[in-house]
Amino acid sequence: MDIFLLVKNATITIPVMEVCVLIAALSVFLVFKLTRIGLITAYMFTYRWGLLFFLKEDNTYLMFYLIFGFAIGIITVITMIWSSSTE
């Protein structure tokens, strides 16, 4: 229940320059139809922003965030590679 209260009462500040870089990069990727690279880029930026939040919190939450984040990232990349080879 602690994680629910932590997320519910969270105040997250995101650097404006990073948001501008993300929007520009995603726009370029969409123009050139590089949707998979855009998805990975958006995931990495969002993951970094979550990491900035959890660095200020308890190490238990940070450990779970890192483990699950890397697992989802690896599964996503493997799935993208696998689906591109079957097309």
Report pLDDT digits (tens) over 32-80: 999 999 999 999 999 999 998 888 887 888 899 999 999 999 999 899 8
Answer yes or no: are the C-beta atoms of 54 and 62 closer than 8 Å. yes
In this structure, what DSSP letter does residue 57 have?
Answer: S
84: left (phi over 0), alpha (psi -120 to 50) or beta: alpha
Number of CB atoms found within 10 A of residue 53's CB: 19
Q: Has residue 27 got a pLDDT over 80?
A: yes
Q: Has residue 30 got a pLDDT over 70?
A: yes
What is the band of 1 on the pLDDT scale with cuts at 50, 70, 90?
low
